[in-house]
Structures are given as C-alpha cells and as structure tokens.
C-alpha cells in the first residue's frame, strides 16, 4: 500500500477515505470485505486501514478483512444521531473524527457526503491511486482470474457445442425439435456458471445482422450460415474477480466476407498480443492494429473496427490499463484482454477476445480455447 501512503502524504491529507459497498471495486480491493450496504474505510499513512461497520457485521468483517475493524457505534455514529444529526451529517462527523484532518477521497465518493464532510475538514480529490494499484496484479490475483477464465471457457464450449449439434431448418437452427434461441444458449451458459460459483450478466449471443452492433445482446432463434458472436464476462462470487472472452462461429456455410473478416481479426489479435510488453503504451498497440486493419482494406469510420483493442480486467470487467487511443504505458503484472473486431451493416460482425498477463518477456495468454469459425 506504499502507493496509497505516498498519495496521502503528497496531498497533505491525514487519511484516505472510501464510503461504499463492496460493489465498488476499490472498497473490495482495499478491504476484501463483501457487503451490500455502504461502509467506511479509512487509511492513514503507515497503518493497515480501518473498516467501520454496523455491529451485526463486526465478527464477519474481522474474519474477512485484513483491515482493523471497529463498529459505527464505537466510532461515534450513534451518539451523533442522538444529538440530532442526520445520518449523513453524523457519518461525516464520524469520518472527520477518525481521520483527524484533511481527507483524500476517490472520484466515486458521494457528493452529498463530501459536502457534509467539508464542514469538518478539507476534502481532497484523489487522481486514481487505487485504480493504478489494482492495475498491477499479484500472483494470487492472477490465479483468481485464471480460475474464472477456465469457467468462462467451459461456458463458451457449452454454447458452441449446442450450436454444433443443431441442424438447419428453413434457415433457423433447431436442436431437439425446438429452435435454438439466443436465450436458450445464454440460460445454459448461466446455469453452468452458477454451478461453478460464478455469476454472469449481459451475456451476448447475437446472430446475423445483430452482430454488426458490438454489444447487441441477441434474441430469438439463431440462424444457419450466419455469424454468431458469443461474449461472456463472468465474475467469481467468492473472490469478485472477472474473466472475459469472445468467440465468433458459424453453423453451416459462412459468407466470403465473414471468412475474410475472421481471418483479419485473428491476425490483428495475434499482432496486438505480440506487441504487449512492459514499457509499451496501450495507445501504441491500439494504433498499430488500426493501421493493420487499414492495410487489409478495413478503414474504420462509422463501420469497421469501432472500439478499443482491449482493457484491464480484475474486480471490474473494464479497468486500467486500456488498449485504446489514450492507453497508458503498460507494466509487468497488468492483466488485459485483446479483442479486435470488425462490424459492417448488411454483413455482420466478427470479434475474438482473449486475456492474459504481461511479464518481463511479453504477453502470457490465459485463454485456452480455439478460434475456429466454422462449426
């Protein structure tokens, strides 16, 4: 936590403060405590940080969190409420009393609480210190991500197997006498992931013209001879870490344009992965892939390559570093996705996505799954 200590001192603050539930990735990262209700975390330089929780959460917080744990009552909150303060003002007084001076807060800190807090101490805005810390994963974090990635691959394989077993009937894919729908495939993947201790939301199984929209979720019967984009980004319930992967498949005969797009996307992904190493910027890697697509005849304006090349992944699906126009310098320990894609109305879309980690030698792919188009 030296980076956070340095940020506190450089800001001339007394402490760094987070007020959030564990849905906030910074809170989960700093405390390793799971809660649906907001709690307070206060860290002073050289200390391990203090987590302030309701009495009913005290014992569980002590077990789960490496931080020191005290109750809101012991921190004075209930006394302030008895004196007539609103809960928000009482929370601000509690934080100020525990911090003992100016506080440094993340950008996500609630504005209403910050305004109340300013009555008791200066409130200073941090420039993403914890996000930068989260961008460099420990070996334990990498293991957690690998675990979720293995589950994601099994879920993708389940989807591909369902599609492979289906048969065309009037242009619609049919399995076991029923149309094979996007909803059915997503349900089967989600059921598997639930059994593996993971949750998945906003999973994409899109087909045909819908694949020209990168994040179209897909609905209805899947079609024969059309691209099917499967994109899943599950989260491990216990650890909070995510994986992310995408594959594009066709059951039947693919159009020549889709076959050529798939080739270009595969080569673009390989090119991007080959450039990933510490000291290279995400912007540089992204631009080289943009240039590659241009050289292949895929100029990107309102169609073509419409999004960034990739992103960091961890407690959030999309976190630093980013492989895009403003991507920062990459470091050993970064875990990133590489996901080039091409999208054209009237033809469809193709996207392939893998993830892996950077070390001193370059990019080590975690994903272990084939990239075949025709199934």
By C-alpha distance, which of 356, 263, 353 is closest to 308? 353
Structural domain for 108, as ranges = 2-134
- Check whether residue 42 and residue 73 sit in a common domain: yes
Domain-terminating residue out of 134, 150, 183: 134
14 by Cβ neighbours in 10 Å (0-12 / 13-18 / 19+) ranks as buried
- What's the whole-number mean pLDDT along residues 21-46? 97
Measured distance CA(152)–CA(141) in Å, rounded: 17
Is 370 contained in some domain?
no
- Tell whether 371 is covered by a domain: no
Domain end among 117, 134, 151: 134
- 192 and 162, same structural domain? yes
pLDDT reported for residue 2: 80
Give yes or no for residue 299 having a pLDDT over 90: no
Question: For residue 123, what pLDDT is reported?
Answer: 98
Give the pLDDT mean for 11-40. Answer: 97
206 and 128, same structural domain?
no
User: What is residue 321's predicted lDDT score, i.e. its pLDDT?
Assistant: 98
Q: What is the mean pLDDT of the chain?
A: 97
The domain that holds 353 is classified in CATH as 3.90.230.10
**CA distances, 267 to each of 224, 335, 337, 358 (Å):** 26, 21, 15, 20
**Domain co-membership, 156 together with 102:** no
Pairing of strands 15-20, 103-105: parallel
Q: Are residues 91 and 142 in the same domain?
A: no
Same domain, 171 and 312: yes
Predicted pLDDT of residue 301: 83
Asked whether residue 375 is domain-assigned, the answer is no
How many angstroms separate the CA atoms of 197 and 214, rounded?
A: 28
Q: Are strands 354-359 and 335-338 parallel, antiparallel or unpaired?
A: antiparallel
Residues 106 and 181 in one domain: no
Residues 270 and 353 in one domain: yes
Tell me whether residue 372 is in a domain: no
Residues 197 and 239 in one domain: yes
Please count the structural domains in the chain.
2
Mean pLDDT of 301-308: 94
pTM for the full predicted model: 0.95
Question: In CATH, what number is assigned to the domain containing residue 37?
Answer: 3.40.350.10
How many residues comprise the chain? Answer: 375
Mean pLDDT for the stretch of residues 278-291 = 98
Tell whether the model's pLDDT for residue 1 goes beyond 70. Answer: no
- In this prediction, residues 47-69 reach a mean pLDDT of 97
State the alpha helices, DSSP H only, in the chain: 2-10, 25-31, 58-64, 77-82, 87-99, 111-117, 129-135, 139-165, 182-195, 256-275, 282-295
Of 134, 164, 198, the residue at which a domain comes to its end is 134
94 and 151 co-located in one domain: no
Same-domain status, 125 and 178:
no
Instruction: Extract the tokens encoding 74.
Output: 């012991």
Within 10 A of 319 (CB to CB), how many other CB atoms are there? 18
Cα–Cα distance for residue pair 181/173, rounded to 1 Å: 8
Question: For the residues 224-252, what does the mean pLDDT come to?
Answer: 98
Same domain, 119 and 186: no
pLDDT in tens, 102-161: 999 999 999 999 999 999 999 999 999 999 999 999 999 999 999 999 999 999 999 999
pLDDT digits (tens, 9 = 90+) for 186-219: 999 999 999 999 999 999 999 999 999 999 999 9
| Position 123 in a domain | yes
Euclidean distance between CA atoms 215 and 189, whole angstroms: 18
């Amino acid at each position: 936590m030296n980076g956070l200590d340095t940020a506190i001192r450089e800001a001339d603050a007394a402490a760094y403060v987070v007020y959030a539930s564990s849905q906030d990735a910074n809170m989960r990262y700093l405390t390793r405590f799971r809660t649906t209700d907001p709690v307070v975390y206060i860290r002073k330089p050289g200390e391990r940080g203090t987590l302030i929780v309701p009495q009913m959460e005290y014992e569980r917080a002590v077990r789960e969190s490496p931080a020191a744990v005290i109750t809101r009552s012991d921190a004075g909150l209930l006394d302030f409420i008895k004196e007539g303060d609103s809960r928000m003002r009482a929370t601000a007084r509690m934080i100020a009393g525990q911090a003992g001076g100016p506080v440094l807060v993340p950008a996500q800190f609630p504005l209403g609480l910050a305004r109340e807090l300013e009555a008791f101490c200066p409130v200073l805005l941090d420039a993403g210190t914890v996000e930068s810390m989260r961008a460099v994963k420990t070996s334990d974090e990498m293991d957690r991500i690998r675990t979720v990635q293995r589950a994601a691959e099994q879920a993708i394989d389940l989807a591909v197997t369902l599609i492979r077993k289906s048969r065309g009937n009037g242009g619609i894919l049919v399995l076991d006498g029923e149309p094979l729908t996007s909803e059915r495939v997503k349900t089967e993947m989600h059921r598997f992931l639930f059994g593996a201790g993971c949750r998945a939301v906003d999973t994409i199984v899109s087909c045909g013209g819908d694949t020209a929209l990168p994040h179209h979720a897909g609905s209805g019967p899947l079609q024969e001879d059309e691209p099917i984009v499967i994109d899943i980004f599950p989260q491990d319930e216990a650890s909070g870490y995510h994986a992310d992967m995408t594959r594009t498949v066709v059951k039947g005969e693919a159009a020549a344009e889709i076959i050529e797009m798939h080739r270009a996307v595969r080569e673009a992904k390989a090119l991007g992965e080959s450039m990933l190493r510490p000291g290279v910027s995400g912007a540089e890697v992204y631009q080289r892939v943009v240039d590659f697509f241009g050289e292949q005849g895929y100029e990107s304006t309102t169609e073509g390559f419409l999004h960034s090349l990739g992103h960091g992944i961890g407690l959030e699906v999309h976190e630093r570093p980013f492989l895009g126009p403003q991507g920062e310098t990459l470091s050993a320990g970064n875990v990133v996705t590489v996901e080039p894609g091409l999208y054209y109305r009237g033809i469809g879309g193709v996207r392939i996505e893998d993830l892996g980690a950077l070390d001193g030698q370059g990019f080590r792919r975690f994903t272990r799954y084939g990239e075949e188009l025709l199934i």
